[in-house]
Amino acid sequence: MTGPDGGEPASTGPEGHFRRVRRWRPQRHESRVEKMIREATERGEFDNLPGMGKPLNLSGLDDPDWWAKQKIRDEDLDSTALLPPTLQLRKERDTFPESLRGIADEGVVRTILTDFNTRVKQDRLRPSVGPASHLVCRTVDVEEMIDRWRLLRHS
Residue 140 scores a pLDDT above 80? yes
Judge whether residue 3 has pLDDT over 60: no
Kindly report, residue by residue over 98-131, the tens digit of the pLDDT: 999 999 999 999 999 999 999 999 998 888 777 6
| pLDDT tens digits, one per residue of 4-15 | 555 555 555 566
Closest CA to 86 of 142, 112, 124: 124
Query: Which residues lie below 8 Å from residue 122, measured CB to CB, with a gap of 6+?
Result: none
Which comes out higher in pLDDT, residue 81 or 14? 81
- Parse the chain into domains and list their residue ranges: 80-154
What would the pLDDT profile of 20-55 be if each residue is shown by its tens digit?
Answer: 777 777 677 888 999 999 999 999 998 988 888 888
- Decide if pLDDT at 95 tops 90: yes
- The whole-model pTM stands at 0.54
The predicted structure's pLDDT at residue 14: 60
Q: Give the pLDDT confidence score for residue 93 in this predicted structure.
A: 94
* Average pLDDT for 51-75: 82
Query: What count of other Cβ atoms lies within 10 Å of the Cβ of residue 7?
Result: 9
How far apart (Å, rounded) are the C-alpha atoms in residues 131 and 97? 29
The answer to which of 35-39, 67-71, 144-148 has the lowest mean pLDDT is 67-71
